[in-house]
Amino acid sequence: EVQLVESGGGVVQPGGSLRLSCAASGFSFEDYMMHWVRQRPGKGLEWVSLISWDGGTTHYVDSVKGRFTISRDNSKYSLHLEMNSLRTEDTALYYCGKGHTSGSVGSWGQGTPVTVSS
Amino acid sequence: DIQMTQSPSSLSASVGDRVTITCRASQSISYFLNWYQQKPGKAPRLLIYAASTLQSGVPSRFSGSESGTNFTLTIRNLQPEDFATYYCQQSYTAPRTFGPGTKVDI
């Protein structure tokens, strides 16, 4: 059974940093693209970033480019999102997702909350 | 960036109804369109990928279709557990944008 467990969320001041992690199990992590998707309180889903199976390709939504960095450690079955220069608008529940056929997100974690507030 | 729109933004329906949700892409995305269901306080769930392929374990009352840049999610014989918010997402290119969602309630 696929399991994705996010951690690392919390409360941080504007301009601060956080590092989110996602622990994967139940599948061959090294074979799959992985995603981060966020959801602001009471709002819809926003795709944030993806990383290819080998870490060689990454993409970001424009609003986080230059501030967030996605990475993975295939030996540890872990995905990360380094978030710097955080803004109040980055407040959201951050989901880790496993890539599926045709670029979809086939499995999701339960999310880790990030609150950016002074 | 590719913009995704959905209509309606919300709808009211009854058990047993047939429901149709439309998603439109701002440019061609071929068949790279996915549908997700999200219930309050829960993570999203993949329903359909590649416009019309049902994800494993998803009931056959869900179906998807495409016509150019217009995509449709249809739920036949709506069940109580189907009341949720539905999102489309394009996976043709990054950023992999989601639609704003359609809330289906009673």
Model confidence band, residue B17 (pLDDT cutoffs 50, 70, 90): very high
Nearest to B97 among A47, A104, A106 (CB): A47
Which pLDDT does position B106 carry in this prediction?
81
* Per-chain mean pLDDT for chain A: 98
Burial profile B43-65: b = 16 or more Cβ within 10 angstroms, e = fewer:
bbbbbbbbbbebbeebeeebbbe
Element (H, E) at B46: strand B45-49
- The answer to whether B98 contacts A50, with C-beta atoms less than 8 Å apart, is no
Say whether pLDDT at B22 is over 90. Answer: yes
For chain A, percent of residues with pLDDT exceeding 70: 100
pLDDT of B55-80, one tens digit each?
999 999 999 999 999 999 999 999 99
Nearest to B96 among A47, A100, A108 (CB): A47
Nearest CA distance, A102 vs chain B (angstrom): 6
pLDDT of A57-115, one tens digit each?
999 999 999 999 999 999 999 999 999 999 999 999 999 999 999 999 999 999 999 99
